[in-house]
Amino acid sequence: MDNRREVVKTIVGRKTCPDRMGLYEHYWQDTQQSWEEHDGLPAGIDLTAHFDYDLREIEGSWFRSESLVDQEEVLEETDETRVVRNGWGATTRAWKNKAGTPEHLAFELTSEDIWRKKYREPLLSLDTRRFGDLDKLRKNYTDAMAEDRFAMYNNVTIFEQMRASIGDVAMLEAMYLNPDWIRDYCDVMTNHTIMHLEYLFREVGVPDGVWMYEDMGYTQAPFISPDLQRDLILPFHKRLGDFIHSYNIPWIMHSCGKIRPFLPAIREAGVDCLQVLEAKAGQDVREFAGAVDNSMAFMGNLNILAFETNDFSRLADEIVPKLKDISQKKIPFVFHSDHSIPKTVRLDTYRHALDLYHEHGRY
């Protein structure tokens, strides 16, 4: 099967296996520049086209979900970092010139009272300012849908939204001490996401699928218990999934950390493809697939630590046995690292990983 879009629709949408596994990848922000400067990658190329990936996230489809869309204040700036207070009242410090996750400094939204007085009301109605340049998005959508690739809108959903707005500590405390607030937050934010996705579907177009980021785990354990996740999170994941499926398109959930205990609920929510299955968290795509009897697709699980050795033999030891088992067991699968490619991975190493995929990634 040569049609890239159809390959992904078969794997992710129908959960069956075409002639080959799918192919996709993500990168840290400074990886491409490093490859250009040190490894001879041509400057400014489109990596999706260059490596012939099967999927593309449509640029500009990520709408802003902070409550106060016009509130963003730079509090401090140096040559290396910038401290910003955003539309959630959350203060973060981020690197300006290198990749890294933002440092969480402070959160204003730490109680139900603050939520109801300041942040809840603006989320109840559609606000087209959240989309940015819609004309540019329409062009990006048209271009992406004209390609032979599976084109997706992307964003975050409720667990990520809570962590970004309430902060990990206050969020986890509230889940146990004030679960009704968490339910209200999740209800409002799920409706907010659906409302704005519906606008995009109507005013821009329906994509091939939707990609949602939803990190729910530490390296060694989930953030919360499976029972609590099922009580507070699953109903809203299912509502979002039902909405996406009403357009006859699948959704892909990215979730970092050890999230294996949540797999039954993720499946119940209607997630079509689960990504990224961190091997570093002791997870194995073959075990995941067996637990759901191949009724979901999976993407990832190739340990980035093996890539970072830049040792072709160790890389093969990580990739080849998994691909052989995935092929033999007919697991619907998209080839991807278990997170994303940092600049410590040399371009030749990544190209060798792709060679292994092309050699062993057939069913």
Give the list of residues 6+ apart from residue 91 with CB closer than 8 angstroms, or none: 75, 83, 84, 85, 104, 105, 106, 107
pLDDT over 70 percentage in the chain: 100
CA distances in angstroms from 213 to 136, 249, 312, listed in the order given: 23, 17, 31
Interval 121-167: pLDDT, tens: 999 999 999 999 999 999 999 999 999 999 999 999 999 999 999 99
**Spatial distance between the Cα atoms of 32 and 37, rounded to a whole number of angstroms:** 9
**Spatial distance between the Cα atoms of 257 and 308, rounded to a whole number of angstroms:** 19
CA distances in angstroms from 287 to 263, 271, 293, listed in the order given: 11, 17, 10
Q: What is the mean pLDDT of residues 228-237?
A: 99
pLDDT over 90 percentage in the chain: 97
Q: What is the mean pLDDT of residues 52-70?
A: 97
In contact, 304 and 268? CB cutoff 8 Å: no
Residue found by looking up tokens 């204040």 in the block: 73
**Spatial distance between the Cα atoms of 299 and 314, rounded to a whole number of angstroms:** 21
Q: Where are the domains of the chain?
A: 4-66+109-360
What is the band of 10 on the pLDDT scale with cuts at 50, 70, 90? Answer: very high
Residues in the chain: 363
In contact, 31 and 342? CB cutoff 8 Å: yes
The b-or-e profile of 306-335 (16+ CB within 10 A means b, else e) is bbbeeeeeebbebbeebbeebbeeebbbbb
Range list of H helices, the chain: 4-8, 31-38, 47-50, 112-114, 134-146, 158-165, 168-177, 179-203, 226-232, 234-245, 263-268, 285-291, 304-308, 312-329, 347-360
Q: What is the mean pLDDT of residues 52-69?
A: 98
In contact, 300 and 265? CB cutoff 8 Å: no
Question: Which overall architecture, per CATH, does domain 4-66+109-360 show?
Answer: Alpha-Beta Barrel (3.20)
So what's the pLDDT on residue 40? 98
So what's the pLDDT on residue 120? 99
So what's the pLDDT on residue 249? 99
Q: Indicate the pTM of the whole model.
A: 0.97
So what's the pLDDT on residue 69? 94
Interval 181-222: pLDDT, tens: 999 999 999 999 999 999 999 999 999 999 999 999 999 999
DSSP string, 172-205: HHHHHH-HHHHHHHHHHHHHHHHHHHHHHHHHT-
**Spatial distance between the Cα atoms of 74 and 89, rounded to a whole number of angstroms:** 12
DSSP string, 300-355: E-B-HHHHHTT-HHHHHHHHHHHHHHHHHHT--EEE-BSS-B-TTS-HHHHHHHHH
**Spatial distance between the Cα atoms of 22 and 361, rounded to a whole number of angstroms:** 8
Residue found by looking up tokens 């697939």 in the block: 289
In contact, 200 and 62? CB cutoff 8 Å: no
Q: What is the mean pLDDT of residues 291-309?
A: 98
**Spatial distance between the Cα atoms of 306 and 128, rounded to a whole number of angstroms:** 44
Structure tokens at 280: 């570093």
Interval 158-179: pLDDT, tens: 999 999 999 999 999 999 999 9
Interval 62-117: pLDDT, tens: 999 999 998 999 999 999 999 999 999 999 999 988 888 899 999 999 999 999 99
So what's the pLDDT on residue 1? 61
- H or E segment and range at residue 72: none
Phi, psi (degrees; rounded to nearest 5) at 43: -70, 135
Structure tokens at 222: 């989930």
So what's the pLDDT on residue 98? 85
Q: Is the pLDDT of residue 46 over 80?
A: yes
